[in-house]
Amino acid sequence: MKGLIFDLDGTLVDSMPSWGRQLDDLLTGRGITPPGDLLDRTKTLGLEMATGMVLEEFGLEDDPAVVFQQFQTNMENLYCSTIPLKPGVREFLDEMHKQGVPMAVATATSRPLVEKVLAHHQLTDHFQSITTVAEVGIGKHDPRIFLVAADKLSMPPQQCIVFEDSLKAVCSAKQAGFYTVAIYEESNQSEQNALTEEATVYIHDFRNLAVQHADLLE
């Protein structure tokens, strides 16, 4: 039996459009046209690092702590109201939990928000641990977060599967020896072809995953 390590945004919850709007609103509110690749460049960094990067890149004098907290507040409200789980996630996680499969979350989202999301969807008890980019100190272009998550499950990378929607994250996990499952994310069309090539398995969503790829999960 393999351990399962899940990204949160864009993998378990359909939240990437909401994060994109937060970034766009920050810039458009100051008369700046957001570049089309901004979400892709920031989504694996963690909110604190991403906030600092955006403010510096566009020469904004806002207090990073204030912007960070506003993002946190806005997303907490959305996570607990309108942002749904992605298709098939509930059924897949329930089945894996029922079977006693070790599971963890490894995400760029801050721990308080992750805990809110899991509690809102009644998934807290499904996961043995949460690891965040802020806690390991580097984005998902580096595999450290996945290695820490695997260590918390007391399993080597070769016995774990990383579920991700980001190409950078899939590539770093793959290089560290993890199996990888890439999840289709509508807001990230440009990476889909590369994800199908890099990941061990590419899926459109979680429906029937346990049936179609039972051999990978064993």
* CA proximity to 78, closest of 21, 35, 36, 126: 21
Listed by start position, the domains of the chain span 3-14+83-217, 16-79
**Residue listed under structure tokens 């946190």:** 72
Residues above pLDDT 90, as percent of the chain: 59
- pLDDT above 80: residue 48: no
Q: Band the pLDDT of 46: cuts 50, 70, 90.
A: low
* CA proximity to 4, closest of 88, 138, 95, 134: 95
* CA proximity to 71, closest of 85, 50, 44: 50
Mean pLDDT, all residues of the chain: 90
pLDDT digits (tens, 9 = 90+) for 186-202: 888 888 999 999 999 99
Higher pLDDT, 65 or 102: 102
pLDDT digits (tens, 9 = 90+) for 98-132: 999 999 999 999 899 999 999 999 999 999 999 99
Instruction: State the burial class of residue 113 (Cβ atoms within 10 Å of its Cβ: 0-12, 13-18, 19+).
Output: buried
The whole-angstrom separation of Cα 134 and Cα 109 is 8
* pLDDT for residue 170: 97
CB 18 within 8 A of CB 78: yes
**Residue listed under structure tokens 């580096």:** 142
Q: Tell which CATH architecture fits domain 3-14+83-217.
A: 3-Layer(aba) Sandwich (3.40)
How many Cα neighbours within 13 Å face the side chain of 208?
A: 4
Instruction: State the burial class of residue 137 (Cβ atoms within 10 Å of its Cβ: 0-12, 13-18, 19+).
Output: exposed
- pLDDT above 70: residue 5: yes
- pLDDT above 90: residue 68: no
pLDDT digits (tens, 9 = 90+) for 126-163: 999 999 999 999 989 999 999 999 999 999 999 999 99
How many Cα neighbours within 13 Å face the side chain of 207?
A: 5
